[in-house]
A and B are shown apart, each in its own frame.
Chain A
């Protein structure tokens, strides 16, 4: 069971998070394809499976194979699959195709290698806090280990060839997860946009009421790996400065409406009996604002973990029962009450 390999409580996902309240996580992705083979979308499921097997065998022989679990996607039950998608580990790099697709995932879920999804190899490493920017070499260690056995598709003009035209070149991308309530509440979007454009990144905010933003480098072609890393770290540092100033500004004039919304959300979280996923997600976003701005004595890492624990398959994994919708709403209320007031 995938739920036993990766228990609902996130093992150490944010444990190393330093005192930074802004820069939550760095993520690096490296894509490679084998010369002479079609990209996975154009392969038959049996061909994908065969290539994934030979790549998995080689990875299994490396040091990284020892510290990662092998997860063949087509052997997962619908519930296991939903759990993995909720887990968000593969969501950002996942294609809907499952036949013949497999993954290696480290126990702490920070390192993963997706085999025969959009590309033959999609290697990803995530690491919390500012020091997370030094985690990328792990991807190149895996690449190095495979170099002797597989020849990667490469072109002098377009670099490493990938199925998505915007990923060719280095095949490498860097991303950063930011907690920016100051910028979002004060609507400093021009500043965010200007910084994003200068560093050539794209920024996405998870939902209209979210204070979490994810920024990723846009181009992999025409820029070196070092420039890509510098773009992500430069952007993160500059936004951290802007956010620090915005929070100070916000604290000076903290609007009563915001305090009211945060405290009412805490009341709802502490006393609700039935609560839907949508409502709970909105509440957690507001509690995150309260925790970061010092209105509530809650640990932001607890709230970040709760974003996962309130999802249906996670509740089912926690309770060990295949609960229907109404029971899920009840359990969700219980989880929030216990975690936030216990």
Chain B
């Protein structure tokens, strides 16, 4: 941080600002004065508005857009749409398919990217990209003489290495 310069005025930087938006990482440095300005800036205000948008406000807005009586309960578990909105929870995995359109609308307002991007049942486990962390765990398991656990970690590490 000591060598970094403020992106706006070139003075020595005291704050590192990192944004990760939809998978794209942006990083820059600011000094105290510019950081104060930045806190009042549009970029910050907009992200604040977006993230701190109260769930209840979003739900109320959604409830007004889609009248509840038009949507039938989930055929698998009987969950009513009104209860989905009230508790932002569902009754069974099939609710996601039954209320897909409404859940999609709701999540669009609550998360930056309402589409799954992580691991899936058929894909490689996150363990395959955790080599460094696995090595830490292996050291700890050996230190604690937990050899069965250590063998399990080593087994995964061997698979990762292949």
Residues of chain B having any CB pair with chain A under 8 Å:
1, 16-20, 22-23, 39, 44, 47-48, 51-52, 55, 76-79, 84, 88-93, 96-97, 100, 103-104, 106-107, 110-121, 125-127, 129-130, 132-134, 136-137, 146, 148-149, 152-153, 156
Contact = CB atoms under 8 A, between A and B. Distances in A.
Given A159-B118, A194-B39, A222-B115, A38 B51 contact: no
A134 B118 contact: no
Interface of A: 33, 35-39, 41-42, 63, 66-67, 118, 131, 133-138, 140-141, 143-144, 147, 151-161, 163-166, 168-170, 172, 190, 193-194, 197-200, 218-219, 221-227, 230-231, 234, 238, 241
Contact of B118 (A35, A131, A136, A224): A224
B112 A39 contact: no
A175 B97 CA distance: 30
Contacts of B130: 136-137, 140
B118 A170 contact: yes
A221 B116 CA distance: 5
Given A155-B97, A166-B110, 7 more contacts: A141-B156, A161-B96, A163-B89, A164-B88, A168-B96, A169-B118, A197-B51
B96 to A, nearest CB: 5
Nearest to A172: B118
B137 A134 contact: yes
A224 to B, nearest CB: 4
8 contacts: A41-B91, A42-B79, A66-B148, A137-B130, A165-B84, A166-B55, A190-B39, A197-B48
B48 A238 contact: no
A234 B18 contact: yes
Contacts of B88: 164-166
Nearest to B125: A140
A151 B55 CA distance: 31
Given A38-B92, A164-B89, A156 B116 contact: yes
B48 A140 contact: no
A63 B92 contact: no
Contact of A219 (B77, B84, B112): B112
A222 B116 contact: yes
Contacts of A194: 39, 44
